[in-house]
Structures are given as structure tokens and as C-alpha cells.
Amino acid sequence: MGWSIRRLNRAQAINGAKTYLEIGVETGVTFKGVTVERKDGVDPYFAFDPATLANDRVRLHALRSDAFWASDLPLAYDLIMLDGLHTFEQTFRDFLASLSHAHARTIWLIDDTVPSDVFSALPDHSQSMRHRQRMGIPGYAWHGDVFKLVLALHDFFPTLSYATIINSGNPQTLVWKEPRAGFEPVMNSLEQISRLSFFDIDAHVARFNLVDEETAFARLTAGFAKA
């Protein structure tokens, strides 16, 4: 996961982040690599003993993200990584909840926003693995239907800008607060967005703002310069 650490630390260098939240921590490889002073990690099933990492600046919460958001634990965050349950509804809910704990210079990195194939885009993890195996296709890629979140961002968040990074690791979407020039909803329906499948992505691909890492960070930097 070198790309997540690289991108998050690059974002940190831009906004000087002092507080970081990671939803979905697993082994902690990214969490440990992020060079932010104050860190919160949330995962109901840490793949390591969270007590080995916790200290007065690092908190690890063995909770589902919904329980975390509904508690008095969340701080105000400068940098947020969403990489928990890979479904549209959960990631959208995490994103919405995070807005109450963000500010004008918060930067988000949302993982798994471009599925690699039709199996990876299934929202049910076990179904995704079962169908992939049944078709004899190797690998375990599971992005779920998080891609729908990008289309929801496009249509329902005129005050946010974003760019989806491709070609240098797993695609991820960088989001920041900057009013979007020429904002124009296209589908204008969360219900329609939620019903999309992998095969619909082509028709909507322009709205993912797919760019390389350099371009994504150049856009973020330019957006912050305007604020």
C-alpha cells in the first residue's frame, strides 16, 4: 500500500495536517506510515493488537465506523482516509459523517473508487470472491461499489472538488473544499446512482476526473491557493 502512504503524506505536506483519521485500518501498514502527530484509527477487526500502537497521540478504536461517528470520540480532522467497508452506502455515510469533523482545509483520500473488474465491483464481499473463483479468475481484488460515491460527489456536493488518481497504485479519490466551477448535476438521483453496475461506469467515466497523481495534487494545491 505504498501509494496510500505516499499520497497521504503528500496531502499532509500541503495542508500541514496535525490530525488524521483512518476508517478501516486492518494491519496498520498505511496508518503507521502516515506522518501526522495525532492519529485516530477505526476498525472493528484490527489485524494486530491495537494496544501495541496506542499512546497519548494515537488512538485505535475497535468499532464499526457508524459506532465511532455516533460516539463522542471524533475530533476535528485535517486529513481523512476512508477505507472501511467497501460499499457505497457505508462509505457515503462515513463521508457525510466526516463533514461534521472537517474544516476548510481538510483533505480526504477515498480508497477503492475505481473497481478493477466486474467481480471486484460487487458490493457483497463473499459473493465477489465466490463468482471470481467460479469463473477461474485469479486474485482477490475487492473494491465493492464505492465508485458510486464519486458520482454522488459529482451531483450533490457543489462546494467540493475532487480528482481520482490512476496509474500509480490503487485508484483513489482526493477530495477538498473548493467550490466547483460549472457545477451541474447529471443523474441528480441517489437512487439511480445506487443502482449502477460496473458496466455503467464507461458512460459516466468523465465525472470521475481521472488524472495522474501529479495532476491531482496540482489541482489540490491550486484550489488551496485560491482559498
Ligand X SMILES: C[S@@+](CC[C@H](N)C(=O)[O-])C[C@H]1O[C@@H](n2cnc3c(N)ncnc32)[C@H](O)[C@@H]1O
Q: Which is closer to ligand X, CB of 27 or CB of 188?
A: 27
- Please say whether the beta carbons of 28 and 41 come within 8 A: yes
- Quick check: 200 binds ligand X (CB under 6 A)? no
Out of 8, 25, 216, 220, the residue judged to bind ligand X by CB under 6 A:
25
Q: Of residues 18, 26, 207, 211, which one binds ligand X by CB under 6 A?
A: 26
Could you give the C-alpha distances from 122 to 1, 118, 177, 204, in angstroms and in order? 22, 7, 30, 18
Residue 61 gets the label, from left (phi > 0), alpha (psi -120 to 50) or beta, of beta
Quickly count: other Cβ atoms within 10 Å of residue 53's Cβ: 17
d(CA 180, CA 187): 17
Q: Is 141 in the site for ligand X (CB under 6 A)?
A: no
Q: Which residue is nearest to ligand X (CB)?
A: 24
Min dist. Cβ of residue 68 to ligand X (A):
7
> C-beta of 101: minimal distance to ligand X in Å?
15
* CA angle (119 as vertex; 115, 121 as ends), nearest 5: 35
The CB-of-121 to ligand X minimum distance in angstroms stands at: 15
Closest to 122 in 3D by CA, of 86, 83, 151: 86
- Amino acid (1-letter code) at residue 77: Y
The region of 83-91, 157-165, 178-186, 207-215 touching ligand X under the rule CB under 6 A is 83-91
Q: Pick one of 12, 69, 84, 146: the residue that binds ligand X (CB under 6 A).
A: 84
List binders of ligand X among 89-108 (CB under 6 A).
90
Binding site for ligand X (CB under 6 A): 1, 4, 22-27, 29-30, 42-45, 64-65, 83-85, 90
